[in-house]
Structure 1
Amino acid sequence: MKTTVKIKALFTFAIALFFANNSQAQETKSFDQGFRLGIGLNGGMPTNNDTYDWSLGGDVRLQYDLTPKASLTLTTGFTNLFVDPNVNDLGFIPAKIGFKAFVWEDQFYVLGEVGGGFAVTNGYDQNTYIWSPGIGYAHDNIDVSLRYEAYTDYDTNQIALRVAYGFKL
């Protein structure tokens, strides 16, 4: 009886060794944690037509990739709100921090940013708080996003499209 127990144990050990020897590790994608820089062009339309007609701006976004699916962002640039011909346009510098999360196929993302807008043109001295949720698509060096941008002190909000070129630093 001892012999059959030893044979069963040896047989079980041999099978376990066979499966352990033939197992393979999953392939993992290498992740290069680091910084990216994006240079973008923005155009927007107001959500309330009484305040301004449209907007145009440019921005620079610094992105730090925490994981393959999550990044921190820091965005600044210049945005001009074009108002009625009888009223001076409002130009301001936005300064926003945000969080970007890739939600589908590592290319589609959601983004949330908060910060401030600092008026710099035509005698305006009113600053504003900015919050802006958005969605986007990033692939290789191209980044296209659509966002809602709310200004607490400029009596307006906008839907804006951003097209950008990005690269690793």
Structure 2
Amino acid sequence: MKKLQMLCLAAFTFLFANTTFAQDSEVENYDQGFRLGVGLNGGLPTDNDYDWSLGGDVRLQYDLSKKTSLTLTTGFTNLFMGKDELGNNIKDLGFIPAKAGFKAFVLKDQFYVLGELGAGFAVTNGYDKTTFLWAPGIGYANKYIDLSVRYEDYHDFRTNQVALRVAYGFKL
């Protein structure tokens, strides 16, 4: 048992030291900075309240390392008319999302996972609610193009959607 404990401790120490050195050299060789992305979003709500959505956004991204970034996203999204449980028309809902997130590249520095949290501020058709929203997603990005698919949940708007984002990004 003592040999197994020593072997595990040695393996852990080796892995920890190796990871620490790799991170130090990556930070020294990577130029941290800001990127800006301008995107177009289209989505399909997963419930029957709204028929479809369309929006645009601006995303500010700060690269912490070659594989991780912090994001701030805002824009405008419109959920287009649907029907309630009784078949009555529901007015369009337009809102401004404000989200903060974390992006981590997981494969070849191009495929990533993203998680965002924030609020949605209703601004059209007499809606006056603000909702909590959360949005996990996956995507592909290169030097200029960013394509992603995400799920967004709008708690107080009682709806959610699966959306596609196509964006153009550049370094600031």
User: Do these two structures clear the TM 0.5 threshold for a shared fold by scoring above it?
Assistant: yes
The residue aligned with 1:94 is 97
**One of 163, 168, 171 as aligned partner of 1:165:** 168
Instruction: Give structure 1 regions of 4+ aligned residues with deviation exceeding 2 angstroms.
Output: 27-30, 84-87
Query: TM-score, normalised on structure 2?
Result: 0.79
Partner of 2:5: none
For structure 1, the 5+ residue unaligned runs are 1-26
Q: Please give the alpha-carbon distance, in whole angstroms, between the structure 1 residues aligned to 2:106 and 2:140.
A: 10
| Alignment pair present for 1:84 and 2:74 | no
When Rg is computed on C-alpha atoms for both structures, the one with the higher figure is 1
Question: How far apart are 1:140 and its partner, in Å?
Answer: 1.5
CA-based RMSD of the aligned residues comes to: 1.6
Does the Cα contact within 8 Å between 2:49 and 2:90 map onto a contact in 1? no
Q: How does 1:4-23 map to 2 (within 5 A)?
A: none
Shift of 1:83: 1.4
How big is each residue's C-alpha offset from its partner over 1:19-70, in whole Å with a ceiling of 9 and x where there is no partner?
Answer: xxxxxxxx9794220000000000000111x200000000000000000000
Q: TM-score, normalised by structure 1?
A: 0.81
Q: Which residue of 2 aligns with 1:128?
A: 131
Which of 91, 105, 109 is matched with 2:108 structurally? 105
Cα deviation 1:108-150 (Å, max 9, x = unaligned): 0000000000000111001100000000000110000000001
Identity %: 73
Consecutive unaligned residues of structure 2, counting only runs of 5 or more, are: 1-24, 84-88
